[in-house]
Amino acid sequence: MRTGRIPPDSDTTVDADQAGLDCQRYVELVDMVRGDEGREVFDALLASMQVPEDYEVYESTVRVLRHFKTPDVGEWLYDAWDGLAQRSPEMARNLLNLLARGSFGHGAITRFNQAWGAADTRHKANMLEKVLEEEADGWLDTPAARAKLRPLD
């Protein structure tokens, strides 16, 4: 559990040597994932991202998340996105970009959009606002990512 809480460099309440060991152990654990373990492991990886900024150690998490190629990833990511966006907004936007660019497979885009389409009206509107902001000037502001994410009814 301790290795999932990667302290920012500015956190002086944590022993620096222990923090370094925890980061190494976190990466070791993440690197054990093959991508065929299913939703429980996918969700655990997303939940492990706790630091708001784009913390370098999480790059290994994102790399491993990309091993998950089932269309279900779209629904899993949709379900977890709000929580991830609150904890680590930059990582959440990064994963939306990877999704929109097809890094999880094109079926995942469809499943994300279907889950979005099944959401209540208020959540659909909030998510659309976030996606449009990112398309205008953010993580989704590329031809490869723009207009790929839209709610499907």
Give ∠ CA 15-16-20 in degrees, rounded to 5.
120
The whole-angstrom separation of Cα 18 and Cα 25 is: 10
Residue (of 53, 54, 3, 9) closest to 32 by Cα position: 3
Residue (of 69, 13, 5, 62) closest to 36 by Cα position: 69
What does the block give as tokens for 89?
Answer: 């907004």
Tens of pLDDT, residue by residue over 111-150, are: 999 999 999 999 999 999 999 999 999 999 999 999 999 9
**pTM, two decimal places:** 0.88
Start-end of H helices in 6-101: 16-30, 39-48, 58-65, 72-87, 89-100
DSSP classification of residue 140: T
Note the pLDDT of residue 55: 67
Note the pLDDT of residue 83: 93
Tens of pLDDT, residue by residue over 92-113, are: 999 999 999 999 999 999 999 9
Give the pLDDT band (50/70/90) at residue 17.
Answer: confident
22 HSE (CA, 13 A, CB side)? 16
DSSP classification of residue 4: G
